[in-house]
Amino acid sequence: MISRANSDSLPTRRKVLVAGTLLVVSPAVAVAASRAELDRDGPASLQRLYAASPKAAELGSKARAVLVFPQIVKAGFMVGGQNGSGVLLQKGRPIGYYRISAGSFGFQAGAQTFSYALFFMTADSLAYLKKSDGWAIGSGPSVVVVDKGMAASMNTTTLSQAVYAMPYGQKGLMGGIGLEGSKITPIHPS
């Protein structure tokens, strides 16, 4: 027989865990940016990436469009999440707005902010983004994450993937900034 004290403690522990996680993750939910902020911050963030990485600038010059998330917030304690707003730029002009979000569970603790640029190299990959009501990374066009090591040896004359993703500007402390499990959905900021 389970005593009342033990049966009450499990839901209480879950409530404490969920409440603590919400306190940690709630700043990520508040990252909703206005259209004017995204129009300003998206190109500025992309220019910072290009200044830091000539290979990224080269990649951008060959891309059909670039989806820039100027600030993604990732936080968690056992249960975590990430969230951010972005702007799709084609020839430097905004043509759409998107949100990236993901949840995770496992051994994790901390918080960080970072930026992401997704380079759409093919007409098909860009069309998929525009027509889908929500794109879960891992379905649809293939995405290759480019880290600093890969960027250094990358040859943009032999690009073969539909989408390249490049994280940059990490601040804070939390393990991993992968795209796995992320969902990108269109938004209509005011």
The span from the CA of 167 to the CA of 114, in Å, is 7
Instruction: Give the model confidence (pLDDT) of 86-119 as tens digits.
Output: 999 999 999 999 999 988 777 677 888 999 999 9
DSSP 179: -
pLDDT score, position 116: 93
Structure tokens at 104: 């995770």
pLDDT of residue 147: 63
> Stretch 157-179: mean pLDDT, rounded?
73
Provide the domain limits for residue 138.
Answer: 4-186
Summarize pLDDT for 105-164 with one digit per residue, the tens: 776 778 889 999 999 999 999 999 988 877 776 555 557 777 654 544 445 544 568 899
22-72 pLDDT per residue, tens: 444 444 444 468 999 999 999 999 999 999 999 999 999 999 999 999 999
The pLDDT of residue 178: 53
User: How far apart are alpha carbons 33 and 41 in whole angstroms?
Assistant: 10
The per-type count for the chain, helices as H runs and strands as E runs, is 5, 6
Residue 124 makes CB contacts below 8 A (sequence gap 6+) with 141, 162
> Which of these, 145, 168, 155, lies nearest to 55 by C-alpha position?
155
Structural domain count of the chain = 1
Task: Break the chain down into helix, strand, coil percent, rounded to 5.
Answer: 35, 40, 25
**In this structure, how many other beta carbons lie within 10 angstroms of the beta carbon of residue 132?**
15
Gap between the Cα atoms of 101 and 137, Å rounded: 11
Expressed in angstroms, the distance from the first to the final Cα of the chain is 56
